[in-house]
Structure 1
Amino acid sequence: MRKALLDDLDEGFAELYGAYRGLVFSTALRLSGRWADAEDLTAEAFLRAYRGLAGYDRERIAELQPRAWVMTILMNVWRNCARAKSRKPPPDLRDEPIDGVDPGEDVEDTAVRHETGDELARMLGELPEEQRAAVVLRHVVDLPVSEIATVLKIPQGTVKSHVSRGLRRLRALGGAR
């Protein structure tokens, strides 16, 4: 992938996007808990990635760790959005359409998927930000601890601690249902 980025930025970026769009979106969905927010986070992360690559020299692109780099950008976008949302009042959601409905999906399958997804999103939303990020990156995205440490810019031991505490809290929240 780095070679493709070095040879032709536009084609290389298309390859990068194709390789990581599902990973970035699923991570964004678990972090934000809402389909529309995940779409926005994904789009913004890839936009920032493209702009960043356009300003990098060949040496920096050659040394790039694409997956960790894209996930770092996503985490930064998510944190910035969370900070911005905390400064303004929540919108009135009564008239908002249901996110993530596939019109071709069986009604029962949709209900089960939404119930499970909504419950997981709710429980993840109750975790402190650093635990939520660590748990999602480790158990949803399946990144190794070393890459999570790079993405979150914290020591590996701290990653392990955040994951452990986050999972313990999720178990407690799941048992409290």
Structure 2
Amino acid sequence: MSVMDCLDPVRKALLDDLDEGFAELYGAHRGVVFSTALRLSGRWADAEDLAAETFLRAYRAVAGYDAERIAALQTRPWLLTILMNIWRNCGRAKSRKPPPDLREEPVDTVDPREGVEESALRRETGDELAGLLALLPEEQRLAVVLRHVSDLPVSEIATVLRIPEGTVKSHVSRGLKRLRTLGGVR
């Protein structure tokens, strides 16, 4: 059995053909990158910009990687690390501006199969969650978003945030506890 046989389809495709492989990488991870960007930035347009910049930088980076580095790449945490770095850099540049209201724009699109009542309830819940997330300290908000929005395991969150797994667990736990307290849920 060769090393190529052990690789997931995305990394194998990247090794076979960069452009086609990157299209597979994009298809496999665009949802998690965008949803994470949306919860971090709080605005649809900003999330689109962050996601686009993430994939642009990822393409430029992977184009310079050798086969061994591509074979060892953990694609999801790698992309989210790029996203987090871009988001932090944008935050530094905007540090003089007030933080965005995470309820400013709708978090999701309307599903035409969904009834008006269900759509209103879902949007209200999403707006409430966005507002509560905005009240968390940054390290807790990042950990909660990566765990419960992006559905990353603790080990990958530790890689993305560059902190120990125990610290990730602590941030998630404290963030969820604070959300429950802020939301009036026990």
TM-score (norm 1): 0.87
Match of 2:131 in 1: 122
CA displacement 1:53-91 (0-9 Å, x = unmatched): 112122211110111111111111121222222234679
Amino acid at match of 2:176: L
Q: Would you say the 8 A contact 1:25–1:39 is kept in 2? A: yes
Return the letter of the residue paired with 2:27.
Answer: G
Residues 6-15 or 38-47, more deviating: 38-47
- Structure 2 CA distance for aligned equivalents of residues 54 and 102 of structure 1: 37
Identify the match of residue 50 of structure 1 among 49, 59, 63. 59
Other-structure match for 2:5: none
Which residue is equivalent to 1:15?
A: 24
Does the 8 Å CA contact 2:106/2:127 hold for their aligned counterparts?
no
Q: Give TM-score, length-normalised by structure 2.
A: 0.83
2:175 to 153, 166, 175: 166
Map 1:5-154 → 2, pairs under 5 A: 5-88=14-97, 100-102=108-110, 104=112, 106-154=115-163
SS at match of 1:86: coil
Query: In structure 2, do the counterparts of structure 1 residues 31 and 99 end up closer, same or farther at CA, with 3 Å as the change threshold?
Result: closer
CA contact (8 A) 2:44 2:105 kept: no
Q: Is 1:24–1:71's contact at 8 Å kept on the other side of the alignment?
A: yes
Q: Kindly, what percent of the aligned residue pairs are identical?
A: 77
Unaligned runs of 5+ in 2: 1-9
Query: Taking structure 1 as reference, are residues 166 and 35 closer, same or farther at Cα in structure 2, changes over 3 Å only?
Result: same
Alignment root-mean-square deviation, CA: 2.2
